[in-house]
Amino acid sequence: MNENAVNLWTSSEHVKDYLQRADLIAHRGEGEAALLEFVPEETRRILDLGTGDGRLLALVRAQHPDTEAVAVDFSPAMLAAAQKRFGADGSVRIVEHNLDEPLPALGKFDAVISSFAIHHLVHERKQALYGEIFGLLNTGGVFCNLEHVSSPSQQLHEEFLQRIGFTVETEDPSNKLLDLETQLGWLRQIGFIDVDCQWKWRELALLTGRRG
């Protein structure tokens, strides 16, 4: 297999390990709080890409309870965890889909959100997905991507890993990190407006853009 295509997220052990430490990831609460500021008041439909156990979607829906949502993931263990969280809630539809492939028809959305998921796709697919997201947004809709981006140097990368309890030997081989500026540039080229990095701590960044 092409090393770049490694993705361990279908492994239930990998998922279990992540979910056990998800609350402990340094500064993530700050990034999530920043993301919440960018979801418009008038939001009615939300799409969460790489939803995992639905953590981010639950935070957004706590602030926007009068919404319906679609939660997408491809990992059986994550889909089960999302089902456990949202199962009784008829306003959340959980969709099994591999984001390596073009998004299926899901309708239009006022907010497309994602946290720490899209960096598991190869760069070409990240860019294509950003274009698909633009096409799914209603006028005025937002894309909010709390993401793991690359550092400008190996030293900064290793410092980041150390601060989140990893080393180059133990970091997730599923990661396909890309610099922030390239991704902001793609969003602008696609036609998003108000594109910016709204929050950042080392390799964790909130990228946002709006469909004008």
- Taking the C-alpha atoms of residue 210 and residue 114, their distance in angstroms, rounded to an integer, is 14
How many C-beta atoms surround the C-beta of residue 12 within 10 A? Answer: 13
Of residues 23 and 41, the one with the C-beta less far from ligand SAM = 23
- Taking the C-alpha atoms of residue 82 and residue 73, their distance in angstroms, rounded to an integer, is 9
State yes or no: residue 17 binds ligand SAM (CB under 6 A): no
Of residues 144 and 195, the one with the C-beta less far from ligand SAM = 144
- Size of the chain, expressed as the number of residues it contains: 212
State yes or no: residue 51 binds ligand SAM (CB under 6 A): yes
User: Closest by alpha carbon to 191, among 131, 140, 141, 151?
Assistant: 131
Ranges of beta strands (E only) in the chain are 45-49, 68-73, 92-96, 109-115, 137-148, 193-201, 204-210
Q: Which of these segments, 36-44, 45-53, 158-166, 198-206, binds ligand SAM (CB under 6 A)?
A: 45-53
Instruction: Please report, as residue ranges, which positions from 79 to 138 form the binding site for ligand SAM (by CB under 6 A).
Output: 98-100, 115-117, 120-121
Q: Which of these segments, 70-78, 128-136, 157-165, 186-194, binds ligand SAM (CB under 6 A)?
A: 70-78
Structure tokens at 117: 């998921």
Of residues 100 and 181, the one with the C-beta less far from ligand SAM = 100
Binding site residues, ligand SAM, CB under 6 A: 7, 9, 18, 22, 50-52, 55-56, 73-75, 78, 98-100, 115-117, 120-121
